[in-house]
Amino acid sequence: MFTSPLPIFVSGLVARGFGRGSKDLGIPTANYSAEVVKNLPHNLEPGVYYGWAQIENGEVHKMVMSVGWNPFYKNTMKTMEIHILHQFENEFYGSLMKVCVLKYLRPEMNFPSVDELISAIKSDVAIATKELDKPEFIKFREHEFFQI
């Protein structure tokens, strides 16, 4: 049974990840440090979520996020990887990133191939893109969390 406390608001500096999002998948992610991940609510279930993200005091963009151990890559450490649905011109490691996590999309899964993982992520992005246009979610784009 799904019991994660949503919405949640997370803020921290963008840390270097494993480099797989851009290189292996063509789907870049912005990652939080292990310290930020450790401070997530204990009942935030591993899986894929969607919501809003902001880098520094820039524009607020749609995002899809994976929280967990990424079974395909057999991570030993829990991660929080955010794919912001926007093409950035430059890297932003060390920048302040704020995310508003609104909705659980699916559990984390293992996949038989990289192609199937990529296909699942693209499906997640398509669902999130459509869902975040709904009034109950779009209002969070203007939330005071992103204004301070």
- Write the pLDDT tens digit of every residue in 47-83: 999 999 999 999 999 999 999 887 555 666 788 999 9
- Write the pLDDT tens digit of every residue in 32-53: 999 999 999 988 999 999 999 9
At residue 114 the predicted structure's pLDDT band, cuts being 50, 70 and 90, is confident
Residue closest to 84 by CA, chosen among 135, 134, 28: 28
Mean confidence (pLDDT) of the chain: 89
Q: Is the pLDDT of residue 148 over 60?
A: yes
Q: Is the pLDDT of residue 108 over 70?
A: yes
Residue 129 belongs to domain spanning: 8-146
**Residue 106 to residues 19, 46, 48, 50, 77, Cα–Cα distance (Å):** 23, 9, 5, 10, 20
What residues pair up with 30 in beta bridges, in sequence order?
82
User: Whole-angstrom Cα distance, residue 51 to residue 53?
Assistant: 7
Is position 49 within any domain?
yes
Is position 2 within any domain?
no
Is position 131 within any domain?
yes
CATH of the domain at 37: 2.40.30.30
Is position 3 within any domain?
no
Is position 31 within any domain?
yes
Is position 1 within any domain?
no
Q: What are the catalytic residues?
A: 81
What's the structural domain count of the chain? 1
Average pLDDT over residues 90-98: 94
Is position 137 within any domain?
yes
Is position 88 within any domain?
yes
